[in-house]
Amino acid sequence: MHKARKCFGQNFLIDNRIIDRIVATIAPKHDDNLLEIGPGQGAITLPLLDYVEQLNVIEIDRNLISMLESLKHPNLIIHQGDVLKFDLNTLPAPIRVIGNLPYNISSSVLFHLLENLDKIKDMTFMLQKEVVERMAANNGSKIYGRLSVMMQTFFDVQMIFIVPPESFNPAPRVESAIVHLNPLTQAKTKDIKVLEKVVKLAFSQRRKTLRNCLKSILTQEQTDIDLSQRAEMLTIDDFITLTQDHEKQH
Ligand code: SAM
């Protein structure tokens, strides 16, 4: 019996009804290129193997790797290592990424995957409910921030359903939720790095105006966006405009 390791954010799914709903949400097709992040003891992995010809998984915990290897499943391709260092270019594309993500690194995983957006068909994740709410938040809301802007610039973000703590062992302290991320057909920008820089600065001091937060990179004369506002009032398109206006300065 594997003892859950906190350092790897291990909360294993034990509720078969929830597992069935996750698989139904993914709706795997025979020839999908699936990548599961953090398969753990295989709660989602094993049911998925009934559907697909090939399932790649990336897991950091060597004990769990041994368990997965002992299954000797012909359709399961196991990668040992840190997903944050995993190169998606080694897999056939387009990739459908899924996972009950380790909560301690979930934002870093999302940002890492953003860098490989052109390889990704869609993504379905279990995350803390609060993180999913931040990803899907609209401007004007207190929880609208860097994660909302970065995700909604590239994806249609949809919270699918909420998962209670009792569905896991050990039970996390907070509620979780399944989120589906579908890349927008028309990317609003290709320049992730510049957008990230602008968004990070804009939200660096939420109570201050944009004029204050962005003064090192942009002045009011260089943009039509009203910089007397706070970052949380700006729409995604406003952030794209700010990014373009910043780029024009070079
Ligand atoms: N999928 C399983 C389930 O639903 O029961 C396990 C989910 S558990 C929340 C997260 C999994 O991610 C664990 O198996 C953990 O070892 C793995 N993990 C944690 N950090 C990782 C990393 N940096 N790279 C790859 N896997 C990681």
Tens digits of per-residue pLDDT, 69-105? 999 999 999 999 999 999 999 999 999 999 999 999 9
From 59, 98, 101, give the residue whose CB has the most ligand 1 atoms within 8 Å, as the site to mutate: 59
Phi, psi (deg, nearest 5) at residue 147: -65, -40
The string of pLDDT tens digits covering residues 145-167 is 999 999 999 999 999 999 999 99
Identify the pLDDT of residue 186. 85
Kindly report the pTM of this predicted structure: 0.95
Q: What integer pLDDT is reported at residue 74 of this predicted model?
A: 96
Q: Peptide bond preceding 183: is omega within 30 degrees of 0, i.e. cis?
A: no
Q: Whose CA is nearest to atom 17 of ligand 1?
A: 38
Task: Write down the pLDDT at residue 208.
Answer: 96
Q: How confident is the model at residue 3 (pLDDT cuts 50, 70, 90)?
A: confident
Looking at the predicted structure, is the pLDDT value of residue 125 above 90? yes
Using the predicted structure, report yes or no on whether residue 188 has a pLDDT greater than 90: no
Give the residues surrounding ligand 1 with Cβ less than 6 Å away. Answer: 8-13, 37-41, 43-44, 58-61, 64, 82-84, 100, 102, 105
Q: What is the pLDDT of residue 7?
A: 87
Distances (CA, A) of 88 to 43, 91, 97, 110, 143: 23, 6, 10, 13, 31
pLDDT attached to residue 62: 97
User: What pLDDT score was predicted for residue 189?
Assistant: 86
- How does residue 230 score in pLDDT terms, banded at 50, 70 and 90? very high
Mutate to test the pocket of ligand 1, among 8, 21, 62 (most ligand atoms within 8 A of CB): 8
pLDDT digits (tens, 9 = 90+) for 190-217: 889 999 999 999 999 999 999 999 999 9
Q: Under CATH, domain 6-183 is a member of which superfamily?
A: Vaccinia Virus protein VP39 (3.40.50.150)
Mean confidence (pLDDT) of the chain: 96
CA atoms 141, 114, 78, 28: torsion sign: positive
**Atom number of ligand 1 nearest to Cα 45:** 1
Residue 2 in this model has a pLDDT that exceeds 90: no
Whether 46 shows a pLDDT value over 90: the answer reads: yes
Mean pLDDT for 120-136 is 98
Is 59 a known ligand-binding residue? yes
Looking at the chain, the whole-number percentage of residues with pLDDT higher than 90 is 93
Strand order, beta sheet including 176-183: 76-80, 55-59, 33-37, 95-100, 120-128, 176-183, 155-163
- In sequence order, which residues have a C-beta less than 8 Å from that of residue 179 and are 6 or more positions away? 124, 125, 127, 132, 135, 136, 157, 158, 159, 160
Q: Is the pLDDT of residue 250 over 90?
A: no
CATH topology of domain 192-248: Helicase, Ruva Protein; domain 3 (1.10.8)
Per-residue three-class SS string for 125-150: EEEEHHHHHHHHCCCCCCCCCHHHHH
Spell out the domain ranges in the chain: 6-183, 192-248
What is the pLDDT, as a whole number, of residue 191?
86
- Calculate what percentage of the chain has a pLDDT beyond 70: 100
Say which residue, 115 or 125, is predicted with more confidence. Answer: 125
Q: Whose CA is nearest to atom 21 of ligand 1?
A: 60
